[in-house]
């Protein structure tokens, strides 16, 4: 295999890894008139630096001066698009969204009442979505929802970055569950750990950013871990 070809493959792999690690998540508030609580907000993700800068710039403005999200949508929540306990049947394609000064009537609607009701129609016939009053509200660090940080200080995860095996050290008793999510918020596995077994084998995980949702009988926490196996 020639050196230029190997260099090209390595560039693709490195580029994909960097991109997956820079995916960022934003909550958007919606102004809909149907009265359903599911229509109050949704989550969109992007790794496009220009879009990220645009959203962050709007978050520094008063809410009434912020712009509206629009872009192409696809089936499924992609592991992150939800409002509290409701997981939407659609998501904005991360590399196909932007902010605009106004929403166009041909593609506006409510994330639950309109889009969830007939996702296939929206994706096949409309394809584009500009939710009513969909303005950026905040950046969120966890694509798997809002986690109460009760266990964050009670559990130590090391080393980080990690390769091979990940260690957990805690001052609590009893069993804990650890759910591993990838950078897009997709659940990969859930493990039940006792005080005697607090090692997680991550040797088969591709390099990238992961989230660990840690829970005991009445508390939860979230840890970010960077895997570097290669």
Asked which of 92, 112, 140 is the last residue of a domain, the reply is 140
Residue-level pLDDT at 186: 78
Do residue 132 and residue 155 come from a single domain? no
> Which pLDDT score, from 0 to 100, does residue 8 have?
38
- In the block, tokens 């569950």 appear at 177
Query: What pLDDT was estimated at residue 153?
Result: 72
pLDDT of residue 145: 58
* Same domain assignment for residues 191 and 118: no
Indicate the residue among 75, 110, 140 that finishes a domain: 140
Residue 155 and residue 135 in one domain = no
Q: What is the pLDDT of residues 200-217, one digit of tens each?
A: 898 999 998 888 888 877
Average pLDDT, the chain: 82
Taking the model in full, what pTM does it have? Answer: 0.62
Question: Tell me, what CATH number does 154's domain have?
Answer: 2.60.40.3080
The pLDDT, as a whole number, for residue 84 is 77
Show the tokens assigned to 160: 């980080």
Residues 168 and 216 placed together within one structural domain of the fold: yes
Single residue among 140, 166, 184 that ends a domain in this structure: 140
Give me the number of domains the chain comprises: 2
Structural domain span for residue 164: 149-227
Ranges of the chain with pLDDT below 70: 1-21, 33-34, 103-105, 144-152, 172, 196-197
Longest CA span, the chain: 62
Q: Which of 83, 106, 109, 88 is nearest to 28 (CA)?
A: 83
d(CA 193, CA 178): 7
């Amino acid at each position: 295999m020639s050196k230029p070809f190997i260099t090209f493959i390595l560039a693709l792999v490195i580029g994909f890894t960097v991109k997956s690690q820079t995916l960022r998540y934003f909550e958007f508030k919606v102004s809909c008139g149907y009265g359903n609580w599911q229509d109050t907000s949704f989550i969109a993700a992007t790794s496009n630096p220009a879009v990220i800068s645009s959203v962050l710039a709007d978050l520094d403005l008063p809410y009434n001066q912020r712009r509206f999200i629009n872009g192409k949508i696809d089936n499924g929540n992609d592991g992150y698009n939800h409002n509290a306990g409701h997981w939407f049947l659609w998501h904005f394609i991360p590399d196909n969204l932007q902010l605009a000064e106004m929403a166009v009537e041909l593609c506006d609607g409510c994330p639950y009442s309109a889009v969830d009701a007939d996702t296939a129609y929206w994706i096949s016939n409309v394809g584009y979505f500009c939710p009513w009053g969909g303005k950026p509200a905040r950046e969120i660090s966890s694509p798997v929802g809002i986690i109460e940080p009760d266990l964050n200080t009670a559990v130590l995860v090391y080393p980080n970055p990690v390769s091979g095996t990940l260690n957990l050290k805690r001052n609590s008793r009893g069993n804990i569950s650890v759910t591993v999510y990838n950078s897009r918020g997709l659940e990969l596995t859930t493990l039940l750990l006792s005080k005697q077994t607090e090692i997680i084998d991550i040797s088969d995980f591709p390099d990238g950013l992961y989230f660990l949702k840690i829970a005991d009988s009445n508390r939860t926490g979230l840890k970010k871990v960077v895997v570097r196996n290669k």
